[in-house]
Structure 1
Amino acid sequence: MAFDDYEQAISFIHGRTKFKKIPTLARMRLFLKYLGNPESGLEVIHVTGTNGKGSTVAFLRELLEEQGLRVGTFTSPFIVRFNERIQINKQMIPDDKLLNLVNFIVPIVTQLDEELADAEGGPTEFEIVTALMFLYFSQERVDIAVVEVGIGGTFDSTNVISKPLVSVITTVAHDHAKLLGNSLAQIAGHKAGIIKENRPVVIGNIPEEALDVIKKKAEEKNAKLYTPSENYSFKEASKKVSWGEVIDYEGFGLTINDLQTSLMGEFQRENAAVALSAFLIVSMQKKWHVNSKEIRSAIKKATWPGRFEAVSEKPLVVLDGAHNVAAIDMIAKTIRKNFKNQHVYIIAAMLADKQPREMFAQLSQLPNTTIYGTTFAGPRPVAKVKDVTEKSEEIEYSKNWQEALVKIVAQMSEEDIILITGSLYFVSEVRHYFLD
């Protein structure tokens, strides 16, 4: 079986099963063995965390590209187009190369389906995408690949990486409870699964319950753990900018003040500091000579679609894929700090399995907001607003986001802003409208 065009190849990928009942890396390892182990020759920075993974990858990509390197990035989910998940120096994998790679792996997938029929069958959708990424980066000879975990860590298909240059754990918060557990300790156990023997680990601000688990795993693996309390530090700088964040950073022999990001949001200060720390660790390994001018340029250039992203100026429309409680909490802090003198109109839609009741409750506590709950065509059931809001009079309902937008534009002033948030799938749908 061979596919004739890109659409057929994409349909094949999306047609595969999403999850298996029993988590294992054995199937992925066998898959890669049959493909010639393309991952074995790659130098990788491995990134996990409940929130902040994508932005951290974006900062790392710019920092590495500033060194003149050929940098592969693997992220999920996609916001605009499937190909954006696999990029080299910000260029998405071309359709023809993706088609060729899919046709290359199809016979092996078919073989595994037969061989593993008595188990749970051949590779899942994400295992196939991961294999395509490893093949592409191997063929294209990237200098470094920055690889984002899909879900968790321990049993994620990216976790076949045996000797990462550095492992990164951005945050630990509640998400994917069915797969990762209900406690922060359980979730941290999965994230800590990417920690490898004698390989350094950088973490962001992690809750104590989760930190204990990560520290224990690092000790077991004899992995040096770099934390914001002991090895690097950052704080909000006194300098103010109209958009973005500014931090003072210190760590790994470097002090750099007024380091500016173009990404807005409290969480971006931490993401930038975590990414810079990971980069500096790799720089020391490679004996690169880095300077503050290159670092400033890279951090300021980093962009990430759907993360407090301004897609319209008049009126100011911001998109943020805050798809869990911790991310909504960060949005609330950003609104209180940066937009306390403006009225914020919020349009939100969330998947039913993402604690929507708690997320809407947090939004409804913001003083200077009007909230519209809505729905969209999600890949899984979408939360019904009336079912998950305690005081429905505080949250208005619109049958779709376009209806809410029309209502808002009719009543808002020039200084007000519109924030569209919730599921990344929802944000992706809206983003197409504004930017296509």
Structure 2
Amino acid sequence: MAGQNDYGVSTHKTGGDLYQEALVALSSLVMKRDKGEQFEFASHYIKILDLEEDISKLKVIHVAGTKGKGSTCTFTESILRNYGFLTGLLTSPHLIDVRERIRLDGVEVSEEKFTAYFWWCYNRLKVDVVILEVGLGGRIDFTNVVKKPVVCGFSSLGYDHIEILGDTLGKIAGEKAGIFKLGVPAFTVPQPDEAMSVLEDKASALDVNLKVVQPLNKRLLSGKKLGLDGEHQYLNAGLAVSLAHTWLQKSCNLEIPNLNQMTTVLPEPFIRGLATASMQGRAQVIPDQTGNLVFYLDGAHTPESMEACAKWFSLAVVGDEQTDSTSESLVKGSESKLEKWSGETCQRILLFNCMSVLDPLLLLAHLRSTCAKNGVDFEKVLFVPNMSMPHNALVENKDDDSSVDLSWQYTVQKVWESLVGEEDGGKSEVFSSLPLAIKWLRDIVVDSPTRFQVLVTGSLQLVGDVLRLVRE
């Protein structure tokens, strides 16, 4: 006879079956509602489960932004965990498994706990601090059910999801500013004037002390490097330091120097947290099992983040900033540090896709021009469809399928050809599936003395799909 566990979940099926059922149910809830309905549903669900009081007791750091908010949350969580606090981290989207979105004390929640209804597990674990990354916007995002966070943060704002958030920086900033709460302090990185004006007006109306933070000074790390690679991460790290410091001051009795007193070096837990922070799909380097094939992964999908991605890739491939922390070996027993190769022994390939609501001309123009300024060009460009769907908890693998609609990929290819001209345009190709593109890449490196450096960007879903295939 089928029984039930402590959370009222039937136990007659295997753990894997129950987990898959939970993902199916979760995906159906997400896909059937627009953003406003999702927020109302989340609020209603919390009331039904009588969790309003429990959630109000959580000591929350709430972070919104267009780019960098996930990195900021990751840095902040790592700092506070290195102070010895039990942390809860919620980020989005996931790349491979939906459980990536939820980390308890730095570890992804298990399938068993996820299946057994996460909120019950979460409340029973009684975390000391929760770092919440806004999913989309802020005002009607489901994370905004938190009524009184300890502190709020805003990473860099830009044009993204304009079909939902609005077509001007002012409108986008207005949606992001929805996480402001009466009297709750907030920090922001420097913003474009139009966006900053809106943030300041919204903050003033709610008596919010809004402070602007600058990029973290490298000397404060006492010779260490950030765990997340790329120069742009020092801006996110600066915001994370301010958020973590404010939370520490307001939520515990630890004696730590004021921010304006940290002029020579950060406290050791801050340094350790910033240096050990990790996040998939952001400036991540993964050698393939074939040996001479290396994937450079970054989920950039806005013009500004594409430029940052191009700078990072350009520096990485010429060997200027290759570190152990940015590489991951997939071959047991092999060296984890990437060798430095000169441009004469390497070929650079771009593997690209982006959502059809985005402007591929803006993205590819920023990417190409920034790479060119740094002396990097692509010998080949591959355009592919994604395997997974955004906002879907399930992953549906799509191998070679002659029925798949490639019209968008051909459109993006034409955009690329318009940028590089007819001669170089012949170096691009559309593949009907990502697995076929990966197979082609692995085939060309066989018995080749050349190292192939593949930049994967334009879509977090594409990055997650590549991660999944490379690790299989």
Give the TM-score normalised by structure 1. Answer: 0.81
User: Residues 357 and 135 from structure 1, CA distance in 2 versus in 1: closer, same or farther, beyond 3 angstroms?
Assistant: farther
Q: Tell whether the 8 Å contact from 1:356 to 1:383 is kept in structure 2 after alignment.
A: no
What letter corresponds to residue 18 of structure 1 in structure 2? Answer: M
User: Match for residue 425 of structure 1?
Assistant: 461
Matching residue of 1:252: none
Identical pairs, percent: 25
Instruction: Give SS of 1:375's match.
Output: coil
Match of 1:321 among 293, 299, 302: 299
Following TM superposition, by how much is the alpha carbon of 1:209 offset from its aligned partner in structure 2, in angstroms?
1.1
Corresponding residue for residue 300 of structure 1: 275
- Provide closer, same or farther for how the CA distance between residues 317 and 288 of structure 1 changes in structure 2, counting only shifts above 3 A: same
Q: Answer yes or no: is the 8 Å Cα contact 1:373–1:385 preserved in 2.
A: yes
Write the mapping of 1:179-198 to structure 2, written as runs, cut at 5 A.
179-198=164-183
Match of 2:409 in 1: 385
The aligned counterpart of 2:311 is 333
Deviations 1:342-393 (A, max 9, x none): 4532211112112223212323333222132222234278872331333524
Give the C-alpha shift of residue 414 in structure 1. Answer: 5.2
Return the match for 1:174 from 159, 167, 173: 159
TM-superposed deviation, 1:413:
6.3
Moved over 6 A (4+): 380-383, 410-413
Structure 1, unmatched stretches of 5+, are 102-131, 236-246, 250-255
- 1:375·1:383 contact (CA, 8 Å) conserved in 2? no
Partner of 2:430: 398
Shift in Å, 1:304: 0.5
In structure 2, what is the Cα distance between the partners aligned to 1:414 and 1:289? 55
- Cα distance in 2 between the residues matched to 1:221 and 1:414: 59
Partner secondary structure for residue 175 of structure 2: helix
Q: Distance in 1 between matches of 2:34 and 2:28?
A: 18
Q: Which of 329, 337, 358 does residue 362 from structure 2 map onto? A: 358
Aligned 8 A contact 1:150 1:156 in 2: yes
| Contact 2:43-2:145 within 8 A present in 1 as well | yes
Q: Distance between the aligned counterparts of 1:268 and 1:260, measured in 2? A: 11
Q: 2:232 aligns with which of 246, 253, 267?
A: 267
Give the length in aligned residue pairs.
Answer: 385
Task: For structure 2, list consecutive stretches of 5 or more residues without a partner in the other structure.
Answer: 1-7, 257-265, 319-341, 391-404, 418-423
Q: How does 1:228-239 map to 2 (within 5 A)?
A: 228=213, 232=214, 234-235=216-217
Amino acid at match of 2:384: T
Per the alignment, in what secondary structure is the counterpart of residue 45 of structure 1? strand
| Deviation of the 1:54 alpha carbon | 1.6
Partner residue in 1 for 2:398: none
| Distance 1:383-1:422 versus aligned 2 partners, 3 A rule | farther
Q: What amino acid sits opposite 2:456 in the alignment?
A: I
| Cα distance, 1:332–1:226 mapped onto 2, change above 3 Å | same
Q: Which one of 132, 136, 160 corresponds to residue 145 of structure 2? A: 160
Change (3 A) 1:287 1:260: farther
Offset, 1:33: 1.4
Larger mean CA deviation between 55-64 and 372-381 belongs to 372-381
CA RMSD of aligned residues (A): 2.6
Higher mean C-alpha displacement, 57-66 vs 351-360 = 351-360
Q: Which residue of the partner structure matches residue 199 of structure 1?
A: 184
Is contact 2:66-2:155 (8 Å) kept? yes
C-alpha change, 1:348 and 1:196, in structure 2 (3 Å) is same
Q: For structure 1, which segment, 173-182 or 36-45, has the greater mean C-alpha deviation from structure 2 after superposition?
A: 36-45
TM-score, normalization: structure 2? 0.75
- CA distance in structure 2 between the partners assigned to 1:16 and 1:182 by the alignment: 27
Secondary structure at the residue paired with 1:47? strand
Q: How many angstroms does 1:217 deviate by?
A: 1.0
The structural deviation recorded for 1:100 is: 2.2
- How far the C-alpha of 1:135 sits from its partner, in A, is 4.0
Deviation at 1:331, TM superposition (A): 1.1
Letter in 1 for 2:385: T
